[in-house]
């Protein structure tokens, strides 16, 4: 048994709002029930392996700053195996029930696909042992189809058919290991599936190819008996100028057009929605309306910066609004709240990883409790219900039932002379109402 990587950190416990300990939960009390379900089961927190275990703090202006004493800095399988054990020490001490990874986060890429697959198997063996030892589960797996230079023109949308084939092989393997580890889901994030200039791009052909890749994944899922949920994760920009999966609506349209909608749900990430010019609630609601909200990548951007800063969410207003949508849809089934977030470059010590996750978990615990209280109170839902009351009877109900047409509606209005007066939208009143609970 190796020496602990976080010797000074004990298991993070719930100490309540009065606690002054920085390494304790003030609000996340995993066994406490909210609306008949434990907070653990409501929130289904996941740790993102790529940020937490592989993030270095590097940026375009300077190298990484992160101090990670357990990491020997090499690309060896032994180092990756050790890192996997450290990941589980971290998650066990934190009390995170889930984690998520890309194939290339957990295992080094080899000189050939064969060697990469072998490396991955060697790490999956450790992940499996550690899952068994700790009870921590895999929320979702995915393949990194964007870092290696071969994916310079994309993966499923590459102009190079060989690259498409390589991507398919990589997804196949990543699906197999996700299945082997009992993953509850598998994510497809677009990576470099987009373009920088239309001058060199056959957009229709690229999109058709992407659909082909996803259909092959659906077929292979059936072939190996993988029962986890497939997700698409929308993002509008970064790394390419125009990402095909730019937002929830674009993803849903793509899935519908290519007859894939029944096989996929969406994994909505806060900072991706905001980069698309939406609030995260907008993209969550868009997904829910299509019966396709699967999971959430929990993070937040910076209002001052126009890129994917992947910060830990600490804003109670935000977490409340996310949890209002999640509760409205009846909670997560296969999905959860995966912290696709990283500590700042200036927060380079190992203990900062704990502070970051504790903050995110407490913020969501509060969001959950507040959202639940708002729902129990009922005034917000009642306001919205009443706002649409004209659709519950009379002309509105007839339209909804499909019993109306232009001629009948014209006759109605000719008789009535004008529409009934409108009522106030009461935005300020509703904002005050929300603040009563926050």
Report, as residue numbers or ranges, the catalytic residues.
Answer: 102, 105
Number of residues that bind Co ion (CB under 5 A): 3
What's the min distance (Å) between Cβ of 166 and ligand XUL?
Answer: 17
Q: Would you call 140 exposed, middle or buried from its count of C-beta atoms within 10 A (0-12, 13-18, 19+)?
A: buried
Cβ closest to ligand XUL, residue 233 vs residue 283 = 233
SS3 338: strand
Question: Which residue carries 């592989």 as its tokens?
Answer: 54
* Tokens 């907070």 belong to residue: 39
Q: What's the CA gap between 49 and 274, in Å, rounded?
A: 23
Which CB, 95 or 141, lies closer to ligand XUL? 141
What phi and psi, each to the nearest 5 degrees, are found at residue 88?
-75, -30
| Residue nearest ligand XUL (C-beta atom) | 189
Place of tokens 């890192």: 83
Q: Name the site residues for ligand XUL (rule: CB under 6 A).
A: 50, 102, 142, 187, 189, 233, 235, 269, 297, 308, 340
104 binds, among ligand XUL, Co ion, none (CB under 5 to 8 A by kind): none
Strand extents, DSSP E, 234-310: 242-243, 264-269, 293-297
Nearer to ligand XUL, 83 or 102 (CB): 102
Find, among 314, 430, 335, the residue nearest to 380 by Cα. Answer: 430
Q: Look at residue 285 and give the partner it binds from Co ion, ligand XUL, none, a contact being a CB closer than 5 to 8 Å depending on partner kind.
A: none
Binds 70, which of ligand XUL, Co ion, none (CB < 5 to 8 A, cut-off by type)?
none
Q: What per-residue string of b and e applies to 175-192 under the rule 16 or more CB within 10 Å gives b?
A: bbbbbbbebbbbbbbbbb
Q: Which C-beta is closer to ligand XUL: that of 39 or that of 177?
A: 177
Contact mark string toward Co ion, 291..330, x via CB under 5 A: ------x---------------------------------
193: contact with Co ion by CB under 5 A: no
Least Å distance, CB 272 to ligand XUL, is 7
Q: Is 91 left (phi over 0), alpha (psi -120 to 50) or beta?
A: alpha
Q: Least CB distance from residue 91 to ligand XUL, whole Å?
A: 18
Radius of gyration of the chain (CA): 24
Interface residue with Co ion, options 103, 176, 340, 362 (CB under 5 A): 340
Residue 187 binds: one of ligand XUL, Co ion, none (C-beta under 5 to 8 A by kind): ligand XUL
């Amino acid at each position: 048994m190796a020496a602990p990587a976080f010797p000074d950190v004990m298991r993070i416990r719930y100490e309540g709002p009065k606690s002054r300990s920085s390494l304790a939960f003030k609000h996340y009390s995993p066994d406490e029930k909210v609306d008949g379900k434990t907070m653990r089961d409501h929130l289904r927190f996941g740790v993102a392996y790529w940020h937490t275990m592989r993030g270095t703090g590097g940026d375009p202006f300077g190298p990484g700053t992160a101090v990670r004493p357990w990491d020997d800095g090499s690309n060896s399988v032994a180092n990756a195996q050790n890192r996997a054990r450290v990941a589980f020490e971290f998650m066990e001490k934190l009390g995170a029930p889930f984690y998520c990874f890309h194939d290339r986060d957990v295992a080094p890429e080899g000189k050939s696909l064969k060697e990469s697959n072998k490396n991955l198997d060697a790490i999956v063996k450790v992940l499996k042992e550690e899952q068994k030892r700790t009870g921590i589960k895999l929320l979702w797996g995915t393949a990194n189809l964007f870092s290696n230079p071969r994916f310079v023109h994309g993966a499923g949308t590459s102009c190079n058919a060989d690259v498409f084939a390589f991507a398919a092989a990589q997804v196949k393997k990543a699906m197999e290991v996700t299945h082997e580890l009992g993953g509850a889901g598998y994510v497809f994030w677009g990576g470099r599936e987009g373009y920088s200039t239309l001058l060199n791009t056959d957009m229709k052909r690229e999109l058709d190819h992407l659909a082909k890749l996803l259909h092959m994944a659906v077929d292979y899922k059936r072939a190996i008996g993988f029962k986890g949920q497939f997700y698409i994760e929308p993002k509008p920009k970064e790394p390419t100028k125009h990402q095909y999966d730019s937002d929830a609506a674009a993803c849903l349209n793509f899935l519908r057009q290519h007859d894939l909608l029944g096989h996929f749900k969406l994994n909505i990430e806060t900072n991706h929605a905001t980069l698309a010019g939406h609030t995260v609630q907008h993209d969550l609601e868009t997904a829910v309306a299509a019966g396709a909200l699967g999971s959430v990548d929990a993070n937040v951007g910076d209002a001052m910066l126009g890129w994917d800063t992947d910060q830990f969410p600490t804003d109670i207003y935000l977490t409340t609004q996310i949890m209002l949508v999640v509760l409205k849809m009846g909670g997560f089934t296969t999905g959860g709240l995966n912290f696709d977030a990283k500590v700042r470059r200036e927060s380079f010590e190992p203990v900062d990883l704990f502070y970051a996750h504790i903050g995110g978990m407490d913020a969501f615990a509060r969001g959950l409790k507040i959202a639940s209280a708002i729902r129990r109170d009922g005034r917000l839902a009642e306001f919205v219900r009443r706002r649409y009351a004209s659709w519950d009877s009379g002309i509105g109900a007839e339209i909804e039932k499909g019993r109306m047409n232009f001629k009948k509606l014209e006759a109605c209005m000719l008789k009535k002379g004008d529409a009934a007066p409108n009522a106030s939208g009461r935005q300020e009143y509703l904002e005050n109402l929300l603040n009563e609970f926050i």
